[in-house]
Amino acid sequence: MVVQKSLFPSDTIPPLENGDRLTRHEFEKRYQAMPHIKAELIEGVVYMSSPVRARRHGEPHSHIIGWLFVYCAATPGVMLCDNATVRLDLDNEPQPDALLRLDPSVGGQSRISDDDYIEGAPELIVEIAASTASYDLHDKLRVYRRNGVQEYLVWKVNEKELNWFRLREGEYVQLEADTNGVIRSEVFPGLWLAVAALITGDLARVLAVVQEGLATAEHGNFVNRLSGS
């Protein structure tokens, strides 16, 4: 009688593979054993990132982080995270390019778990996508909407376009730029974005516009509310 050996020894954790269908618990166990890669669980399916290109992702990502950092530095009580894992529900554990969140003590809808993960929906998520074909504008969008992410920003780098969605009555509607080409967050007062300047790499203009937003009474009132003043 031939006894077939298991593909993986009992003391070995199987590696993550693109397209695996896993529970969140099994996904986390395998992911923690592979700290050198980036992976996400979207609707129970594992997505593993390809090598990151400089101009298509690395540089745009850094510009988004810089913009959000300026806002976060002037807004105590707001947390900025870069590539933090988020436990949204039992089938979804994304790792957004960037996010802003509020603490539950000031009305936020997510929390930090005992093992230092975000649980629940952050108020704002940003993803850098190559194009409209990306799952950021399909499966992820539906997951974020269903879980109550209040604002979702997707920068389609190849197409030189940016979509900023706001959750209203269970659906995402797109926020439009004003006559000056500026989009204003409805969840984070004072978070203003000069869209064309961001896309073309005019960082001085991006920083000048967010500073204008930070100087508004709306932002001052928001800071006072967060601090309990």
CB atoms within 10 A of CB 153: 21
What is the C-alpha R_g of the chain? 19
Average pLDDT, the chain: 92
Question: Domain 53-227: which topology?
Answer: tt1808, chain A (3.90.1570)
For 157-199, the pLDDT digits (tens) are: 999 999 999 999 999 999 999 999 999 999 999 999 999 999 9
Give the tens place of pLDDT for each residue, 146-155: 999 999 999 9
Task: Give how far the C-alpha of residue 25 lies from the chain's centroid of Cα atoms, to the nearest Å.
Answer: 21
CB 159 within 8 A of CB 131: yes
pLDDT band at 50 (very low <50, low <70, confident <90, very high): confident
Q: What pLDDT shows up at residue 3?
A: 43
pLDDT confidence of residue 48: 87
pTM of the model: 0.90
CA–CA gap between residue 222 and residue 219 (Å, rounded) = 5
Other beta carbons within 10 Å of 53: 11
Domain ranges of the chain: 12-51, 53-227
